[in-house]
Structure formats: structure tokens, C-alpha cells
């Protein structure tokens, strides 16, 4: 999905589409089925019950109007006093029913949103889709915004619409009956011609309400598209700010402060333009809505005036008819009053449907030339590449017919020029790259440790960062301190219980040592290192790798990066060779690094000296 352009017309971005509504209903409507059905139907029926009670209270209020104004017209003080006392009880009932409606409605909205959010989170995190989406060209921007904000904006209004429709149907039926019975018919004389309009107030209310309701979709036909553009612009602005915060150091060191401010200014300029377009659309709709709201209280009085002046209606009956007329208009025009929110809902519903499409599309090849890799089970620690060809997400070949057998405990050094596909191959081995052909054999029971240039450091205690993603309690503090010490981080051993943003508080070298210490603690069966010692120079790189060999020597280790100083430590050397315009091929270089006279056996004193140097 491409980003929304600032000059894109709403029609290019969004239009009402029944298919979108159907698909959103299929996803979100499942809340009323399965395990969540009992909860969903309980709150739905609770809302229905409170709405019926509100209708009963509204009818009582309508009848109270007739009682009170008839008593005023008769100048009956006793009846007026009794009506005033009854009004206090009526107000209490109105308030109680209103509270019940708010609680049941908002509880259903919260629970429904919770259910939808959990399902989208499950889809986003399942099969590592949250990672795969970042690898797809023109990937859908801001999935987190869609999951957090669009779910709310797609469920809350829809609940209100359903309540409005239910209420409108009950109110229109009930109060139309009052208009019919109290208003009666109207005798009209034009010259010598006389005729009778039966239920004239009912027909008047219907004509007025339908006319006002029909004008809104005409006046606000572009509102949905503008709302969609506004939501997308807001999401992009937020994403740009997050991106700046996450890359703050790189921007500052490159002197990109002014460019960052300029970029944010342009992005927020799009937000302002889309908001102003939405304001103009709201203004167009408000013309009709405000004109209608001003006319509604007066129109029934004008319609009743002939019969009142002729003595055919009492003042109380006129006020009862006017109150019923307003209730019928509220019922007929619920779409008028909520049209803006309907446009917002549709924009959010479409964004959720697009997100679900993205979740599904990332699981299948983008083209016939980009099939998906198959994975086979193998003995623990053993890895096999069976005629593996890797593609980018759109089908472009990157690596062709790779074959390799890696035995448990093998130490492999992977090299190749920039762009040869080394990182892609490493990710395919780790199960992060699905686009390819052939099979990768790896034990389904084998534990895998992957360390990259910037390994993830969770916010929390140092103990949690060291154990991540394993839960605390599996290892003693002594084990953790020992791992820190052998990895050159003895100075952090006393800070295991300290909470910090370790990705920011630790230096690059310390972060990479902490990632190595994590491997020392967890001792995975297979270790994949991608530029895991890039923050070090010279002998320090050898120190880190040698430390890993000593602590996890039985593990199968595949390393990318580090240069010749590191390469000579590995028994096997595999290279990706690429010819210009052709996919890379995998070739193993014969000879053993163990026989290399340049290999250095590092003593504990050497490791401690290098670690001390790193700390200073």
C-alpha cells in the first residue's frame, strides 16, 4: 500500500464500498460467536433492555407534556402542582435509564474493541508477520496505528449506529402512532374544493424527515474520502516522529537536525491540509444539520396552528404533537446526525480490512516466481540446505541452488561481497525469510540464538535484558554474573536488578557483549551471528568470538562478518559468489582454519586485558 499523497483527492483514496462493510462485519462480527458469544450477547441484550426502558420514559414524558399544558390552559392549579411533583419522579427515571444506557453501551464498546484488538495482535504477531511486513516493498505503513486507533474508531461508532437504528425504529413506530391518534386528520378547503388529509402529522413528519436525510449524503458525499486521507496523514506524521526518536543519534551525528525539522514540517503540513479539507466538508454538512435542527421545533406548531385556532386541538395536545414530531424526526434523521461519524467509521473499517489483507498476503508469494521455502526436520544441531534458491518478495532471484550440510558443533564463517545475499541467507536459516524454493532442514526442537549488529535490548532490569526472551528465574544470579564476567562485562554484575533503557545507556560494544553473554547463559543449539562483533576492532573481535567458543563450543555456530581476524578462528569457510546480473552461488572454500599458522590461542589473561580496554 502506498502512502497517501498530500494532493490526492478523496475520491482516489476512499469511497463507500459494500464489500468493505461485508468483510469488516465478517471479522468483527465474529465477536458474537464462539467463546465470546455469551459475553457479547449479554451486553447486547442489556443495551436492548435499557433502550426499551428509555422509550417507555420518553412516552411518559410525552404524555406529561399534554397533562401539564392542558392544566395550564384550564388554569387548574391542583393539576399543575400534581404534574410538577410527578415531573421530579420522571426526571429521576430519565437519569437512571440514561446511566444504564451509558454503562451498557460503553462496556460493550470496550469489550468488543478488546476482542478485535486481541485478534489483530494475534494475526500481526503470528508467523512473525510483524517482521515480514517490514521486508515487503511498499509495505503497509503504521500497522500499530491501525490496531490501536482504527479498531476504536471502527467499533465505537458502529455500536452507536446500531443503538441509533434500534432506537429510531422503536421511536418512529411509537411516536408516529401518537401523531396519528392525537393529530387526527386535517380538513383543507381550496376555493369551493374541500378534502381531508388523514394522519396529516404523520405524513408531514415523514416528508420532512426524508427530505432532510436525503440532503446529507448529497452534500457530504466527499466526507468519507477526506476522513480517510486525514487518518492516513495523522498516522504518517506519528510514524515520522517515532522514526526520528529511534534514530536520534544518527540524525544528530550527521547534522540532520534541520532536515528532520523540515521533513516533519512537510508531513504535518499534509495533516493540516487534510484536516482543513475535513473542516470544509463538515461545514457543508452543518448547513443542512443546523437548518434542520432550527426548523424541527417550529414546523409541528405551524402544522397544528389551523386545528388549534379552529378549537379542534387543545394546547396540551399541540405540545404533545410537537414533542412526538420531534421524536419522529430524531428517529428518521439519526443518519443525518451521525453521518460524519459514519464516514469516519468507514475509513477506519477499510484500514482494518486492508491490514487483514496485508497479514494474509505476506504469507503467500507475491508472484509465481517467488514461491515459499519449505522447512524439514533434522537432528538437533544439524542444518541442511537442499537446492535452496532465495528471492526478494517480488520474485527477483538473489541466491541460486545453494547446497550445504552443517553437522552439529560445526563452526561456519560466511563471507561474500556487499549485496551477495549474506543477510538474506542468514535470515532464511533463522526462519525469517520465507521467499524461496527448496528446503532448509533444521530441528524443530533445536533452540536458536540470533545476534545481529543491533540486538534487541528490552527496557527493564539488566537481569531481564540478559535472559531475554526467557522468563526470569531459570538461572541463578551467580550464573548471570559469571556470564557477564566472561563476556567482558564484570563491571555490570552488580547492576542485575537495575532498571534502565539499556539500548540507550550501554555503549555499542557493551550491547554486543551483552548479546554474547545472553548466548553464554542460554546456550542455544544453533547460534547465528550477523555482524555481532562490528563494534570492536582488531584483537577484541577475536576475544569475543573465542569467548563464545569456550562457553558454547558444542553449539553449531554460523558467523557473518568480523574480517580475517575472525575468519581464521572458524573451521569452515563458506562464500557467496556473485556474477554481475546473476544470482549468487554458495561455495565452500577448502582447507581448515585450524591449520592456519596465524590462528591465536587466547588465554584468560588476554581476554581480561581486552575487556578492561573495552571498558576504558
Q: Verify that 191 and 278 share a domain, yes or no.
A: yes
Going by C-alpha positions, the residue among 166, 169, 218, 220 that lies closest to residue 346 is 220
Residues of the domain holding 578: 408-420+455-615
SS3 203: helix
pLDDT given for residue 367 in this prediction: 52
Inside any domain, residue 391: no
Length of the chain, please? 616
Q: Verify that 240 and 326 share a domain, yes or no.
A: yes
Q: Which residue has the cell 548471570?
A: 480
Inside any domain, residue 178: yes
Residue that is last in its domain, among 361, 378, 399 = 361
pLDDT given for residue 336 in this prediction: 60
- Please report the sign of the dihedral spanned by the C-alpha atoms of residue 160, residue 166, residue 170, residue 173: positive
Going by C-alpha positions, the residue among 333, 446, 436 that lies closest to residue 382 is 446
Q: Verify that 341 and 468 share a domain, yes or no.
A: no
Phi and psi, residue 519, nearest 5°: -65, -40
Q: Verify that 322 and 414 share a domain, yes or no.
A: no
pLDDT given for residue 9 in this prediction: 38
Contacts of 321 (CB under 8 A, 6+ apart): 178, 179, 182, 183, 201, 300, 304, 313
pTM higher than 0.75, yes or no? no
Taking the C-alpha atoms of residue 242 and residue 246, their distance in angstroms, rounded to an integer, is 6
pLDDT given for residue 370 in this prediction: 52
Q: Verify that 326 and 469 share a domain, yes or no.
A: no
Q: Verify that 464 and 324 share a domain, yes or no.
A: no
Helices 315-332 & 200-219, crossing angle to 10 degrees? 30
Burial class (CB in 10 A: 0-12, 13-18, 19+), 47: buried
Inside any domain, residue 353: yes
Inside any domain, residue 298: yes
Whether the link from the prior residue into 72 is cis, omega within 30° of 0, is no
pLDDT given for residue 616 in this prediction: 40
Taking the C-alpha atoms of residue 100 and residue 108, their distance in angstroms, rounded to an integer, is 12
Q: Verify that 242 and 148 share a domain, yes or no.
A: yes
Q: Verify that 122 and 37 share a domain, yes or no.
A: yes
Inside any domain, residue 443: no
CB 489 within 8 A of CB 513: yes
Low-confidence ranges of the chain (pLDDT < 50): 1-14, 592-616
Q: Verify that 413 and 270 share a domain, yes or no.
A: no
Q: Would you list the DSSP string of 253-274?
A: HTT-HHHHHHHHHHHHHHHHHH
Q: Any idea what the CATH number is for the domain that residue 330 is in? A: 1.20.1560.10
Looking at the DSSP assignment, which residues form a beta bridge with residue 385? 404, 440
Contacts of 262 (CB under 8 A, 6+ apart): none
Inside any domain, residue 436: no
Inside any domain, residue 254: yes
Helices 37-74 & 77-125, crossing angle to 10 degrees? 160
Q: Verify that 213 and 310 share a domain, yes or no.
A: yes
Going by C-alpha positions, the residue among 6, 212, 28 that lies closest to residue 117 is 28
227-270 per-position pLDDT tens digit: 878 888 888 888 888 888 878 877 887 778 888 888 899 899 99
Inside any domain, residue 162: yes
pLDDT given for residue 346 in this prediction: 82
Taking the C-alpha atoms of residue 555 and residue 381, their distance in angstroms, rounded to an integer, is 7
Q: Any idea what the CATH number is for the domain that residue 582 is in? A: 3.40.50.300
Q: Verify that 347 and 495 share a domain, yes or no.
A: no
pLDDT given for residue 365 in this prediction: 55
Count the domains in the chain: 2
Q: Would you list the DSSP string of 370-405?
A: --B-EEE--STT-EEEEEEEEE-TTS-EEEEEEEEE
Q: Verify that 462 and 332 share a domain, yes or no.
A: no
Amino acid at each position: 500500500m502506498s502512502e497517501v499523497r498530500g494532493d490526492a483527492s478523496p475520491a482516489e483514496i476512499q469511497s463507500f464500498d459494500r464489500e468493505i462493510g461485508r468483510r469488516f462485519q465478517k471479522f468483527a462480527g465474529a465477536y458474537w460467536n464462539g467463546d465470546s458469544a455469551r459475553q457479547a450477547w449479554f451486553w447486547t441484550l442489556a443495551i436492548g433492555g435499557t433502550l426499551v426502558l428509555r422509550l417507555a420514559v420518553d412516552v411518559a414524558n410525552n404524555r406529561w407534556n399534554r397533562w401539564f399544558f392542558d392544566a395550564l390552559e384550564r388554569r387548574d392549579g391542583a393539576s399543575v402542582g400534581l404534574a410538577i411533583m410527578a415531573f421530579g419522579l420522571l426526571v429521576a427515571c430519565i437519569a437512571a435509564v440514561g446511566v444504564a444506557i451509558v454503562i451498557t453501551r460503553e462496556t460493550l464498546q470496550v469489550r468488543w474493541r478488546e476482542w478485535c484488538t486481541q485478534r489483530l495482535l494475534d494475526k500481526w504477531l503470528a508467523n512473525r508477520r510483524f517482521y515480514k511486513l517490514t521486508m515487503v516493498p511498499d509495505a503497509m505503513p503504521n500497522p500499530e496505528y491501525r490496531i490501536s486507533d482504527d479498531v476504536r474508531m471502527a467499533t465505537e461508532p458502529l455500536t452507536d449506529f446500531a443503538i441509533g437504528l434500534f432506537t429510531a425504529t422503536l421511536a418512529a413506530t411509537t411516536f408516529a402512532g401518537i401523531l396519528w391518534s392525537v393529530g387526527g386528520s386535517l380538513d383543507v378547503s381550496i376555493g369551493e374544493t374541500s378534502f381531508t388529509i388523514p394522519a396529516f402529522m404523520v405524513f408531514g413528519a415523514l416528508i420532512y424527515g426524508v427530505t432532510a436525510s436525503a440532503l446529507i449524503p448529497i452534500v457530504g458525499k466527499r466526507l468519507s474520502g477526506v476522513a480517510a486521507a486525514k487518518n492516513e496523514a495523522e498516522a504518517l506524521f506519528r510514524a515520522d516522529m517515532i522514526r526520528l526518536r529511534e534514530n536520534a543519534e544518527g540524525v544528530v551525528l550527521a547534522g540532520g537536525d534541520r532536515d528532520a525539522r523540515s521533513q516533519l514540517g512537510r508531513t504535518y503540513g499534509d495533516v493540516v491540509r487534510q484536516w482543513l479539507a475535513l473542516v470544509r466538508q463538515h461545514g457543508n454538512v452543518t448547513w443542512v444539520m443546523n437548518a434542520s435542527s432550527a426548523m424541527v421545533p417550529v414546523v409541528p406548531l405551524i402544522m397544528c396552528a389551523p386545528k388549534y385556532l379552529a378549537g379542534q386541538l387543545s394546547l396540551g395536545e399541540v405540545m404533545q404533537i410537537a414533542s412526538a414530531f420531534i421524536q419522529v424526526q430524531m428517529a428518521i434523521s439519526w443518519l443525518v446526525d451521525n453521518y460524519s461519524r459514519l464516514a469516519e467509521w468507514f475509513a477506519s473499517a477499510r484500514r482494518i480490512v486492508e491490514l487483514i489483507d496485508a497479514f494474509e498476503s505476506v504469507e503467500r508469494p507475491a508472484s509465481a516466481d517467488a514461491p515459499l521455502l519449505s522447512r524439514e526436520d533434522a537432528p538437533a544441531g544439524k542444518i541442511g540446505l537442499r537446492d535452496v534458491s532465495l528471492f526478494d518478495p517480488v520474485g527477483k532471484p538473489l541466491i541460486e541452488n545453494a547446497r550445504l550440510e552443517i553437522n552439529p558443533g560445526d563452526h561456519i564463517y560466511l563471507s561474500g561481497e556487499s549485496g551477495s545475499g549474506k543477510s538474506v541467507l542468514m535470515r532464511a536459516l533463522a526462519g525469517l525469510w520465507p521467499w524461496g524454493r527448496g528446503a532448509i532442514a533444521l530441528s524443530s526442537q533445536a533452540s536458536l540464538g540470533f545476534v545481529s549488529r543491533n540486538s534487541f535490548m528490552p527496557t527493564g532490569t539488566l537481569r531481564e535484558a540478559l535472559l531475554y526472551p526467557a522468563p526470569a528465574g531459570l538461572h541463578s544470579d551467580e550464573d548471570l554474573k559469571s556470564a557477564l564476567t566472561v563476556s567482558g562485562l564484570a563491571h555490570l554484575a552488580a547492576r542485575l536488578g537495575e532498571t534502565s533503557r539499556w539500548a540507550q545507556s550501554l555503549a555499542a560494544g557493551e550491547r554486543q557483549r551483552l548479546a554474547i553473554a545472553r548466548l553464554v547463559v542460554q546456550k542455544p543449539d544453533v547460534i547465528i551471528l550477523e555482524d555481532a562483533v562490528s563494534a570492536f576492532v582488531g584483537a577484541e573481535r577475536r576475544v569475543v568470538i573465542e569467548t563464545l567458543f569456550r562457553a558454547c563450543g558444542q553449539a553449531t555456530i554460523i558467523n557473518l562478518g568480523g574480517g580475517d581476524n575472525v575468519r581464521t578462528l572458524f573451521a569452515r569457510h563458506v562464500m557467496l559468489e556473485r556474477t554481475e546480473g546473476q544470482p549468487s552461488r554458495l561455495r565452500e572454500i577448502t582447507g581448515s582454519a585450524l591449520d592456519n599458522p596465524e590462528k591465536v590461542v587466547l588465554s584468560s589473561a588476554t581476554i581480561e586485558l581486552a575487556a578492561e580496554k573495552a571498558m576504558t
